Structure 1
Amino acid sequence: FACYRWLDKKEGDGKIELNLIPLDIFKNTSLIPYEITIFTGDKVGAGTNAKIFIQIFGSHGKTDEILLKNEFDSFERKSVDKFKIEAPNVGQIEKIRIGHNSEKFGAAWYLEKILIQQHLHEPFDKQNEVLNPNVEEYWFVCREWFDKGQGDKQTIRELLPTNENEYILSDRKEITYLIHVFTGDKSGAGTDANVFITIYGQYEDSGEHQLTTSKTNINKFERKQEDIFEVKAPTLGKLTKIKIRHDNTGV
């Protein structure tokens, strides 16, 4: 059960209790090299001090959430940062999940794009850094803020692979799910807490999304009220369940 999250009211999303699910078990547990290149955008405040993680999903399974870190400062404005990791061979890469869970000052990040080079079969030659020439490349174009205070206020995103010309390679497309939330008609039914949803389908899950901006009301989650939210995610196929929660904050 992988976690990679703080359980601390003063860190990350402030939660001190988490539900964890078992990781996918790979039939072939041998590790292969991945080289991940992160392009931070050229905007004021684009750099971040947050801890950035990535998770790679493929036709054979998925990796753990992997913290991207170097010995020097990464994710500065207009920077290009390279990370070399070893992880199970997930097969053809179908999507990635990338982001952070920080709300601290300086956490905002503007991601331009990502390049993942999947080096098949052979591990890194750690002494000479010689790589097998059998390399598959996947680009992921983002051009979005990861920030609780601007844009759509999301700090974790899922991206589909493209080629270098930004043509989507996956059969799956990003679609918009409309979430209708009906708050009940009981005394005290409304909430000021932050509310989060995860949608599950036949193709993995959407990842957790905060329901931030209601399309129908300025004050969301009030008694006897319908709120409509948009959640963008790669198509999940037939939906099987959702998980919805709040963080117990508010007045």
Structure 2
Amino acid sequence: MRTTLTAPSNMTSYEIIVNTGNKRYSGTDSQVYITLFGNNGKQTGKIHLKNSNNKDPFKRNQADKFRVQGEYIGELIKLRIEHDNTGRFPGWFLDRIFLTDLNDPNTKYMATCNKWLAKDEGDRQLSRELLLKKQTNEIIRNNQYKVTVYTGNRKDAGTDADVFITLYGNLGETNAIRLASNKKSFEAGQKDEFMIECTTVCELNKILIAHN
């Protein structure tokens, strides 16, 4: 006898990327919640955004990625984002949100906020309802990046190790990409240039450089 277990057909997983703005004190210590609304009149109910890919979520100029489960509610049309105004620094300046229904990963949505959710800033609202706009294939295409690396000129500054770069942006992060060249790279005092191709992460905000 063979038994097959499948997830209920009315459930799906969502990837949610939340971008906190770059204003002074724009990060929050509060608990943040999101509700998604579909074109069939249904909604997910309030979802607690926890277990970010970052240890300390919702900090200034940071992109936080979450994966949550919820009821399938059709094509997404809007969301509600809110927080509970707790913590030492509860005020929050939200830039925008990217969202993907992982049952249809080629369709991405974006909601722009660019407003405070705070009792002492702006219009003093702690909740925002934002329209979701479908993103075109242009936003999820592969991009080419030119990476220039300058190795210092100190004694033994170079390395023979394999060097990798990870790009971080508003749409998440790339895999670790090896910086490979036909010539010997990363010698002391040397400038090395690399062309890499990867799925776009939209606006870059940081990189991670590492070696083995």
Structure 1 stretches of 4+ moved >4 Å: none
5 Å-filtered alignment, 1:1-251, equals 30-60=10-40, 61-70=42-51, 72-102=55-85, 104-120=87-103, 134-164=105-135
Contact kept? 1:97, 1:157, Cα under 8 Å:
yes
Distance in 1 (CA, whole Å) between partners of 2:102 and 2:16 is 11
Contact kept? 2:19, 2:64, Cα under 8 Å:
yes
Contact kept? 2:31, 2:86, Cα under 8 Å:
no
- Give the letter for the 1:44 counterpart: R
Distance in 2 (CA, whole Å) between partners of 1:46 and 1:73 is 14
* Pair 134,110 (structure 1): closer, same or farther in 2 beyond 3 Å: closer
Distance in 2 (CA, whole Å) between partners of 1:146 and 1:104 is 14
- Give the letter for the 1:142 counterpart: C
1:51 positional shift: 0.1
Larger relative strand fraction:
2
1:33 positional shift: 1.2
1:101 positional shift: 2.3
Q: Deviations over 1:104-144 (max 9, x none)?
A: 53000010000000122xxxxxxxxxxxx653211000000
What secondary structure sits across from 1:42 in the alignment? coil
* Pair 76,134 (structure 1): closer, same or farther in 2 beyond 3 Å: closer
Contact kept? 2:16, 2:65, Cα under 8 Å:
yes
1:164 positional shift: 4.5
1:103 positional shift: 5.4
**Structure number with bigger Rg:** 2
More contact order relative to length (CA 8 Å, sep ≥ 6): 2
Contact kept? 1:101, 1:156, Cα under 8 Å:
no
Unaligned runs of 5+ in 1: 1-27, 121-132, 166-251
What secondary structure sits across from 1:140 in the alignment? strand
Distance in 1 (CA, whole Å) between partners of 2:71 and 2:106 is 15
* TM-score, scaled to structure 1: 0.47
RMSD of equivalent CA atoms? 1.9
Unaligned runs of 5+ in 2: 1-7, 137-212
* TM-score, scaled to structure 2: 0.56
1:64 positional shift: 1.5
Distance in 1 (CA, whole Å) between partners of 2:9 and 2:32 is 25
Distance in 1 (CA, whole Å) between partners of 2:57 and 2:105 is 28
1:102 positional shift: 1.3
What secondary structure sits across from 2:107 in the alignment? strand
- Give the letter for the 2:111 counterpart: F
Distance in 2 (CA, whole Å) between partners of 1:134 and 1:73 is 27
